[in-house]
Amino acid sequence: MSIAYLNGSYVPLAEARISPLDRGFLFGDGIYEVVPYYGAKPVGFVPHMNRMIDGLAALEINCNKTVDQWRELMDELVAKNADVGENLGVYVHVSRGADTKRFHAYPENVEPTIFAFAFAIKNPEPADRTKVTQFSVSSTEDLRWKRCNIKSTALLGNVMHYQQGHAAGNNEILLYNGNGELTEGSSCNAFIVKDGVVITPIQDNQILPGITRRIIIDSLKADGSIQVEERTVTMDEVRNADEIWITSSSKEIAPVTKLDGQPVGNGEVGEVWEAAFKIYSASKFDY
């Protein structure tokens, strides 16, 4: 049975209860993270927690847990959920907490609500371009807000975009801004490959600073065999790319072979994907 953490206690997930006046419920006023654990070992634990601490500071939510305290809490949750799966995603969520009324301004003297639970995630994909799961995506203009760098629990913009891709039979949807420049996917970052060079949009307010994205860039740079660029990427470049990848903590690096019903490159998973996935997989636990 799935065990959750809620405000200091470990409880069965189905029994966890919060107030309907919780501002996470009323306003989406909170920050969340998803940390992947493979065989009880996390990937990118410190960067994930630093991103959460930055998000909490941006929202002025006073939650003073240290990275070490988070580690203890989440390792314990993983241990308590060993029967849920060998590989777990740990969802952790800090909302501003429950007020006594519904009022937009930040209340004073409210305790943040801290909630976490673990869910089974898939085994990593094989680093083999002939066997890996292929993704198909659609694309649309990014209609979310201008603070996509904050990992807020207010995800309606992402949810509506994701649903648009899902309803059309795709696994994801790529988003582009009003200038026709790629931002990211509705729940992932995006990369293209052209002539052997790996290219991804710069980290600004239009995208989430993805931890998987960061590990890919850093591990490829450390390895040195594949060139990586962070720069503006137009949708024309996306449509003419040799390869497209989407990346997140749960997907790792997923190769996209269809965009808006058209084949990406030659329609097969690319060689650069396979080489990059091997480099990423060999070093992901170092981050």
Task: Considering only residues 5 through 34, tell me which ones interact with ligand PDD, judged by CB under 6 A.
Answer: 34
139 interacts with ligand PDD by CB under 6 A: no
Q: Can you tell me which of 210, 255, 265, 270 binds ligand PDD, judged by CB under 6 A? A: 210
Query: Which CB, 112 or 210, lies closer to ligand PDD?
Result: 210
Q: Can you tell me which of 127, 188, 217, 272 binds ligand PDD, judged by CB under 6 A? A: 188
Q: Can you tell me which of 110, 137, 198, 211 binds ligand PDD, judged by CB under 6 A? A: 211
174 interacts with ligand PDD by CB under 6 A: no
Give the closest residue to 279 by CA, choosing from 220, 230, 206.
220
Q: Which residues pair with 64 in a beta bridge?
A: none
Task: Considering only residues 58 through 117, tell me which ones interact with ligand PDD, judged by CB under 6 A.
Answer: none
Task: Considering only residues 212 through 251, tell me which ones interact with ligand PDD, judged by CB under 6 A.
Answer: 212-213, 247-250
Total residues found in the chain within this entry = 287
Query: Which CB, 143 or 196, lies closer to ligand PDD?
Result: 143
199 interacts with ligand PDD by CB under 6 A: no
d(CA 134, CA 259): 12
183 interacts with ligand PDD by CB under 6 A: no
281 interacts with ligand PDD by CB under 6 A: no
Residue range at the interface with ligand PDD (CB under 6 A); choices 54-62, 94-102, 203-211, 223-231: 203-211
d(CA 230, CA 217): 9
Q: How far is the CB of 101 from ligand PDD (least distance, A)?
A: 30
171 interacts with ligand PDD by CB under 6 A: no
Greatest Cα-to-Cα distance within the chain, rounded to the nearest angstrom: 58
146 in catalytic set: no
Query: Which CB, 171 or 187, lies closer to ligand PDD?
Result: 187
158 interacts with ligand PDD by CB under 6 A: yes
Residue in 151, 194, 221, 284 annotated catalytic: 151
Query: Which CB, 98 or 216, lies closer to ligand PDD?
Result: 216
d(CA 3, CA 264): 42
Q: How far is the CB of 109 from ligand PDD (least distance, A)?
A: 30
Q: Which residues pair with 225 in a beta bridge?
A: none
Catalytic residues: 151
| Site for ligand PDD, rule CB under 6 A | 34, 158, 184, 187-189, 208, 210-213, 247-250
